[in-house]
């Protein structure tokens, strides 16, 4: 079999000189799709962000250099207040939602990992919301939280409890969006953690028990370290998913959410702002620049994520 | 009231003989053969079937012109993508405030000659709605309908405080609303979301203000009239409504039967009157609060998109079709719209379409539209936010909010002038 592998066959020196096609052939199918559907649009987006651009008005397309970017950092520009408001909102959502979306699924996974009658039914119940589309979840959220005859306030009122204006006042609008998001996506994270839990060898727990470790010690010294790679993955994809918040505010708080002084809605996420800039105001260059600033921020966050988790090992 | 209506009907009858068959006079030359036309509209709601009915009737009456109707959601995105792939339809519905933007984005083409050929006359329409179809001195669209801000009234609740008719003036309105408020009921309900900005604009026009200067280069809502309008809204909210309500909250409450009056678009008629509610809900013209009559409205207009394969046969056929839709807009009015044509609104047939006829009497001649400049709807964004912030209690200084919104709208308008090259 080794003869089929040219890398092993040749010496280290000649391997450097001779270009080896085989590994590239293996990734070629993916590379083709990546190049067409991710690489090329990424490059084109970068180009568009340097232009004033509207695909229906080729006559008006003109090169503006970094203007679309500098606008985002100039406090007197049209884009400045709305862009940073939306980005701030999104950060706030990420900061609050990500810990919840890691801790709650972890707890659920631990509970469902014990031998429990009908645990598959519970797993299915917790996972079920994930199969709904974002539009369905957003509309359900609206009809549960809306103030005039919405399900939640209807019962809260019957109980004589406080009935906040969930969708039109702060911070309640965020709580409503957060509750819906946790309900919707926890199941997905739970399933991944559950799979990882089942991969931890039972012998580790057995020997720890023999050494006299209690259940808390077994959790902290065996479960968490064994889950670390999966938790890194969960944290990163959850940060990205929370950054991409779009449909919940779109349906529940009508895009912007409670209006506030000075520009932008209180629950307007950055993705809705980018969409509006690009396809409602038809300023696609400026929208592309916003996208790249956000993409840059996400890359920096992912980098630190990997570093923090790596240094612990 | 009865006397007034019969007088109007009489006037309509008189005008009918003289004025009705003005449009749709031309016919398609034989050499054209059978012309097939594509017609797009955004009527995804219960209004769609009414339009479908009109198209079918037209096809039956004109065997040599066959129109295929397509209803699209995400309408302007669809038009944009169709324009990019050069597959725009022959005829399209466009909202009045979108016309200039779609013209500048190379989606619509001028139709002056087609309009002239099909005998459509600007004098048959209220000036504001006719002017909305004109951009830079050229005509791009003709108005099909007007959809005004409308008042919806729970007549059972009104009767319980001894009011027999919907209020028509500010004083009547205040008296009824105050009498109804209390005991778990609200006399009048307004939200902090859509359509609160449209209501604000309407009141501001009634107090003598405007949203923009005439050429659409500057926001003018931070005027005395603007402050007055916002103050009226805040006072009404405090006196009759509940504070800080989200979009549609007033509709849901109204349907619950605890609200006397709400203001929303005429398109809500089937939702909150008649079969839609368990009480006697009616739709009527909004009362006049300020010194001069003014009613916020939108308008669906008929336009011809840009096509690579323009040809005179299709253009003539499109003109005939548009003329037919305007002539027969009484059918369309049953979907909950007011015919834009004053001639049709004065017809005996329309007088029987209720409540549209009554609403038309109180609003059609007082509607206003934003100036026809590209991207004008962008400039409403800051005003939406300012009025929303005031109504939700996130801001309290009316003048400061309106000033700030005007300032931001002015930079948006300036940016649009640069973008669209209209400096």
pLDDT tens string A83-110 = 999 999 999 999 999 999 999 999 999 9
Distance CA A184, CA A179 (A): 8
Interface probe with B: pick from A282, A283, A284, most Cβ of B within 10 Å: A282
**Measured between beta carbons, which residues in chain B are less than 8 angstroms from residue A57?**
104-106
Please list the residues that pair with B95 across neighbouring strands: B300
Confidence of residue B102 (pLDDT cuts 50, 70, 90): very high
B397: nearest CA in chain A?
A: A261
> CB–CB of A168 and B105 under 8 A?
no
Q: Integer distance in angstroms from the first to the last C-alpha of chain B?
A: 51
What's the pLDDT score for residue A17?
A: 67
- Please check the confidence at residue B269 and state whether its pLDDT lies above 60: yes
| String of DSSP letters for B261-272 | EEEEEGGGHHHH
Q: How many CB pairs under 8 A join A and B?
A: 104
Give every residue of chain A whose pLDDT is below 50, as ranges: 1-4, 6-10, 313
pLDDT at B19: 40
Report the percent of chain B where pLDDT is more than 90. Answer: 79
Is A148 in Cβ contact with B389 (below 8 Å)?
no
A residues 34-73 closer than 8 Å to B (CB): 52, 54-57, 60
Q: Which residues pair with A68 in a beta bridge?
A: none
Which chain A positions have a beta carbon within 8 Å of B420's beta carbon?
A: 60
pLDDT of residue B329: 93
Of residues B19 and B322, the one with the higher pLDDT is B322
B73 inside 8 A of chain A by CB: no
Pairwise CA distance, residues B337 & B353, whole Å: 10
Query: Is B26's pLDDT higher than 80?
Result: no
Tokens of A76: 């007197």
Burial of B143 (0-12, 13-18, 19+ CB in 10 A): buried
| Chain A residues closer than 8 Å to B389 by CB | 259-261
Q: At B30, is the pLDDT very low, low, confident or very high (cuts 50, 70, 90)?
A: confident
Tokens of B403: 């000033």
The structural domains of chain A, ordered by start, are 21-62 (no CATH), 68-309 (1.10.3720.10)
Q: Best residue in B385, B398, B400, B411 to probe A by mutation, most A CBs within 10 Å?
A: B385
Chain A: closest CA distance from residue B403 (Å): 10
Length of chain B: 423
CA atoms within 13 A on the CB side of B286: 29
Q: Average model confidence (pLDDT) for chain B? A: 90
> B residues 88-107 near A, CB within 8 Å?
101, 104-107
pLDDT of residue A213: 87
The pLDDT score that the predictor gives to residue B167 is: 95
On whether any CB of chain A is under 8 Å from the CB of B417, the answer is: no
Residue scoring higher pLDDT (B178 or B271): B178
What's the CA gap between B254 and B10, in Å, rounded?
Answer: 36
Give the B window 363-382 contacts with A, CB below 8 Å. Answer: 375, 378, 382
pLDDT bracket for residue B217 (50, 70, 90): very high
Helix (H, G, I), strand (E, B) or coil at B46: coil
Could you tell me if the ipTM is greater than 0.90? Answer: no
Residue A14: per-residue pLDDT = 54
Tell me what the mean pLDDT of segment B228-244 comes to.
95
Query: Which residues on A lie below 8 Å from B186 (Cβ)?
Result: none
Higher pLDDT, B308 or B423: B308
Q: Does residue B24 register a pLDDT over 70?
A: no
Contact B419 A56 (CB under 8 A): no
- Give the per-residue pLDDT at A242: 93
Lowest mean per-residue pLDDT among A108-112, A222-226, B24-28, B194-198: B24-28
pLDDT for B106 equals: 93
B101's enclosing H/E stretch is helix B99-104
Could you read off the pLDDT of A293-310 as tens digits, one per residue? 999 998 998 888 878 777
pLDDT at residue B4, as a whole number: 47
Name residue, tokens 């096609």: A21
Nearest to B192 among A78, A81, A168 (CB): A168
Min Cα separation B244/chain A (Å): 6
Residue B153 dihedral angles phi and psi, to the nearest 5°: -125, 135
A274 CB neighbour count, 10 Å cutoff: 21
User: Could you tell me if B423 lies within 8 Å of chain A, comparing CB atoms?
Assistant: no
pLDDT for A15 equals: 52
Among candidates B83, B385, B401 on the partner chain, residue whose Cβ is nearest the Cβ of A56: B83
Whether B228 and B156 have beta carbons less than 8 Å apart is answered as no
- HEC string of chain A equals CHHHCHHHHCCHHHHHHCCCCHHHHHHHHHHHHHHHHHHHHHHHHHHHCCEECCCCCHHHCEECCCHHHHHHCCCCCCHHHHHHHHHHHHHHHHHHHHHHHHHHHHHHHHHHCCCCCCHHHHHHHHHHHHHCCHHHHHHHHHHHHCCCCCHHHHHHHHCCCCCCCCCCCCCHHHHHHHHHHHHHHHHHHHHHHHHHHHHCCHHHHHHHHHCCCCHHHHHHHHHHHHHHHHHHHHHHHHHHHHHCCCHHHHHHCCCCCCECCCCCECCCCHHHHHHHHHHHCCCHHHHHHHHHHHHHHHHHHHHHHHHHHHHCC
Chain A residues 215-274 with a CB less than 8 Å from chain B:
253-254, 256, 258-266
How would residue B34 be classed by pLDDT, with cut points 50, 70 and 90?
very high
Strand-pair partners of B147:
B298
């Amino acid at each position: 079999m080794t003869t089929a592998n040219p890398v092993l066959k040749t010496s280290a020196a000649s391997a450097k000189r001779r270009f080896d096609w085989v590994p590239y052939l293996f990734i070629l199918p993916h590379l083709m799709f990546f190049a067409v559907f991710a690489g090329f649009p990424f490059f084109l987006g970068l180009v568009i962000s340097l232009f004033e651009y509207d695909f229906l008005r080729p006559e008006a397309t003109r090169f503006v250099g970094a203007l679309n970017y500098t606008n985002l950092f100039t406090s007197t520009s049209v884009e400045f207040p709305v862009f940073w408001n939306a980005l701030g909102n999104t950060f706030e959502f990420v900061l609050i939602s990500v810990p919840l979306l890691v801790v709650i699924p972890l707890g659920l996974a631990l509970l469902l990992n014990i031998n429990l009658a009908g645990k598959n039914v519970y797993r299915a119940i917790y996972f079920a919301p994930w199969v709904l589309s974002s539009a369905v979840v957003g509309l359900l959220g609206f009809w549960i939280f809306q103030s005039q005859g919405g399900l939640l306030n209807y019962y809260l009122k019957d109980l004589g409890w406080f009935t906040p204006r969930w969708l039109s006042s702060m911070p309640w609008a965020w709580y409503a969006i957060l509750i819906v998001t946790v309900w919707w996506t926890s199941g997905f994270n739970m399933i991944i953690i559950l799979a990882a839990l089942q991969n931890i060898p039972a012998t580790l727990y057995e020997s720890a028990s023999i050494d006299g470790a209690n259940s808390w010690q077994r959790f902290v010294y065996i479960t968490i370290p064994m889950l670390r790679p999966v938790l890194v993955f969960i944290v990163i994809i959850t940060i990205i998913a929370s950054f991409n918040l779009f449909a919940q505010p779109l349906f529940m708080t009508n895009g912007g959410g409670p209006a506030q002084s000075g520009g932008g809605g209180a629950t307007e996420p950055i993705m809705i702002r980018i969409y509006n800039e690009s396809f409602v105001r038809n300023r696609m260059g400026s929208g592309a620049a916003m996208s790249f600033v956000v993409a840059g921020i996400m890359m920096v966050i992912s980098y630190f994520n990997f570093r923090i988790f790596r240094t612990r090992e | 009231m009865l006397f007034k209506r019969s007088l109007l009907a009489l006037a309509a009858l008189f005008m009918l003989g003289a004025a009705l068959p003005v449009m749709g006079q031309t016919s398609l030359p034989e050499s054209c053969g059978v012309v097939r036309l594509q017609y797009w509209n955004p009527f995804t709601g219960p209004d769609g079937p009414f339009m479908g009915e009109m198209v079918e009737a037209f096809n039956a009456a004109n065997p040599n012109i066959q129109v295929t109707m397509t209803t699209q959601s995400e309408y302007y995105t669809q038009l944009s993508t169709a324009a990019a792939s050069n597959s725009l339809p022959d005829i399209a519905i466009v909202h009045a405030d979108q016309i200039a933007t779609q013209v500048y984005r190379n989606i619509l083409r001028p139709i002056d000659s087609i309009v002239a050929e099909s005998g459509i006359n600007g004098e048959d329409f209220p000036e504001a709605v006719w002017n909305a179809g004109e951009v830079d001195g050229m005509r791009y669209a003709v108005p099909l309908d007007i959809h005004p801000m409308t008042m919806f009234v729970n007549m059972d609740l009104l009767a319980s405080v001894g009011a027999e008719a919907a209020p028509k003036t500010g004083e009547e309105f205040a008296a009824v609303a105050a009498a109804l408020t209390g005991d778990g009921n609200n006399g009048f309900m307004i939200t902090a979301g859509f359509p609160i900005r449209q209501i604000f604009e309407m009141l501001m026009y009634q107090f003598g203000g405007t949203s923009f200067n005439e050429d659409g280069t500057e926001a003018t809502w931070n005027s005395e009239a603007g402050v007055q309008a916002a103050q009226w809204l805040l006072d009404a909210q405090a006196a009759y409504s509940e504070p800080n309500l989200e979009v549609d909250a007033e509709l849901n409450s109204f349907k619950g039967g605890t609200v006397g009056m709400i203001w929303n678009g005429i398109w809500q008629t089937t939702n909150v009157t008649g079969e839609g509610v368990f009480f006697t809900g009616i739709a009527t013209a909004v009362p006049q609060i300020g010194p001069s009559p003014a009613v916020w409205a939108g308008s669906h207009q008929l336009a011809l998109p840009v096509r690579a394969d323009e040809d005179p046969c299709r253009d003539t056929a499109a003109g005939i079709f548009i003329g037919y839709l305007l002539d027969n807009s009484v059918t369309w009015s049953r979907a909950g719209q007011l015919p834009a044509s004053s001639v049709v609104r004065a017809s005996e047939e329309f007088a029987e379409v209720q409540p549209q006829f009554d609403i038309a009497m109180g609003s059609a001649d007082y509607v206003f539209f934003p100036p026809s400049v590209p991207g004008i709807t962008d400039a409403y964004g800051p005003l939406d936010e300012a009025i929303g912030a005031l109504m939700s209690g996130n801001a309290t200084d009316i003048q400061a909010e309106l000033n700030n919104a005007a300032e931001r709208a002015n930079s948006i308008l300036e940016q649009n002038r640069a973008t669209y090259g209209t400096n």
